[in-house]
Amino acid sequence: MEKTGDTQSCQNKSEEDIPKSSPFDFVIKQFQGKKSSSGKRKEQPSAIQKFFSGFDFGKSEGKERQKIEETEINNCRADDQSEKENLSVEDESSQLISEAESPSGEQRFNQFMQKLGKKPNSKNLDLNNCALSAADVTELASLLPFLPELEEIGLSWNGCVGGTLKTLTAQFHHVNLLKVLRLNNCRLSAEDVTSLGEAFEIVPQLEELDLSWNSNIGGKLSLLTKKLRKGCKIKLLKITDCNLTAKDGESLAEILNVLPNLEVLDLSINKHIGCSMKVIAQGLKNVPGLKELNLHMCGLKQDSLQGLDTALQHLTALRKLDISCNKEIGGGFKDSAAHLASLKNLEVLDLHQCCVTEEDTTVLSQVIPLLSSLQELNLSWNKNIGVSSDPLLGRLRFLPKLKSVAISNCGLGKESFSSLAEAALHLPELEILDLSWNKCVGGNLKLLLGALKLATEIQVLRLSSCNLVAEDLALLTLLSHDGHLARLRKLDLSYNNTISDEGWMVFCQGLATFKELSELDVSLRPSSCRACGTWFSELLAALTKLPALAELGMQRWVLSESQRKQLEGFNQDNKRNIRFDC
């Protein structure tokens, strides 16, 4: 029994020895469990620590709670830091993968050019006529930072460039070596003109600027040029058909004051600047190195011609002068050609369709022979040239360097044609001769026989609408058979309905002797048609012996069914790429 009592006593004592659970023990275990699970397992408290912790409900309880919270916060911070480090490593890896996968600037540029069917060239960006979209222009702008060596940009004939040019010019500081900018027919807006004008100062190396066929430039030329500064390097400026106004003419005169290096100025097809020509002429005095001046169809009048003549004395380097298709200057040469003779370096003079009068012809007959360097002369569509009694055409003999003479539709008579034929004997370098629309040539081509024998360099002969006859064609074939006209490449015999079938037969039988011929036109007049004779077979036979021939004009000749089959068989059998214009 004592034993039993002792046992009971021991049990009671043991129960008294077991400390009562603190209300925080559960929380502590929960925190410890979390802590152990996230990191290294913590060392368990001893029994004595547990015992005393069960009776500490005062200050030590708050300290313990604070300690627990601090421990948990530290653990959480450690976990966060670990996660951040893991994420940082992952982000860095992802970034490296992304950089490895994303194309470089050079690759992007190559892909862009390949998409447009162009070969990449870091110095010459040729995107003319590529049907660019506004998005393409934006993408191109983003690529300019990767093209620091770019020297040429060609975006001509891309209408969608208009309205988006500002995105491109904003990146021009990345391509400050740019020398050439071509923006023909891009439908430039007023905003484009302004942004382009503001960009000039960040492309100081610019030498060539072509803005032709952008009508919105008209009336806004001052916006385009306001940033141009004295000493600008521009050598070529083309503003063809831009609807320039008289006010633009005044702005242009100011521009010329800061373009001392200008060599080429093309203002053609701007009909409203003629009345500003006197002001422009004043500006031309500041570009003594000018080599080409194009004023074709600029609405020039007699007083405009006077202003221009004054400027010519300062343009001694001029090589090309085009004042064609200015009908109202007719009659003005008699008072405005004095300084034309001073252009000793002039190589090209174009006066076609200027309504030259007989008095003008008298003056020109004294001036033109003094242009000792002249190589190309176009007097076409001035009917008084042929009827004047002054020997202008005869005096061409004093211009031995002439390579091209165009006297189409000049109203030549037999006398003036004879004068020309005699002068041609002294033109050994003649390559191009255009006598079209001069009816007197028909039946009189023999007058030119001597000149054509000596013209060993002649490559283009135009005799359209000259009332030619069979005798004239026989003369041409005879010359070729004898070894003359050996370099002839283009022969225009169109609109000569006066040639008989016999004449065409003789011509076609001797055609094979024109070994270098690449273009031949035997078309009839637009108002007529005619059945093709038996000479057609001779024509096809001759073509097999003319390997260079690529174009044959036969408009309004009516082929029979058998002739059409002959033509089809010829194309198949000979595998020639001849373009028959029938």
Among the ranges given (5-14, 142-151, 507-516), the one the predictor scored with the smallest mean pLDDT: 5-14
Q: What is the pTM of this model?
A: 0.81
For 114, 179, 182, 190, 560, the CA distances from 120, given in Å and listed in that order, are 7, 18, 18, 31, 51
Output the pLDDT for position 175: 96
Query: How much is the average pLDDT of 337-341?
Result: 89
Query: How much is the average pLDDT of 67-74?
Result: 52
Output the pLDDT for position 18: 41
Output the pLDDT for position 361: 93
Query: How much is the average pLDDT of 314-322?
Result: 97
Output the pLDDT for position 79: 54
Strands (E), 144-214: 152-154, 180-182, 208-210
Query: How much is the average pLDDT of 127-145?
Result: 95
Which position has the token pair 């020398």?
Answer: 179
Burial 544-554 (b: 16+ CB within 10 A, else e): eebeebeebbb
Output the pLDDT for position 328: 95
On whether the CB atoms of residues 510 and 480 are closer than 8 A, the answer is yes
In this predicted structure, the answer to whether residue 551 has a pLDDT above a threshold of 70 is: yes
Alpha-carbon distance of 280 to 296, in angstroms, equals 15
Instruction: Select the more confidently predicted residue: 288 or 104.
Output: 288
Burial 55-94 (b: 16+ CB within 10 A, else e): eeeeeeeeebeeebeeeeeeeeeeeeeeeeeeeeeeeeee
Output the pLDDT for position 101: 52
Mean pLDDT for all residues in the chain: 86
Q: What is the CA radius of gyration of the chain?
A: 45
Q: What is the DSSP letter of 50?
A: H
Q: What percent of the chain has pLDDT over 90?
A: 73
In this predicted structure, the answer to whether residue 56 has a pLDDT above a threshold of 80 is: no
Alpha-carbon distance of 418 to 518, in angstroms, equals 30
Encode 334-370 in three state secondary structure: HHHCCCHHHCCCCCEEECCCCCCCHHHHHHHHHHHHH
Residue 465 φ then ψ, to 5°: 50, 50
Q: Which of 14, 13, 44 is nearest to 28 (CA)?
A: 44
Query: How much is the average pLDDT of 495-520?
Result: 97
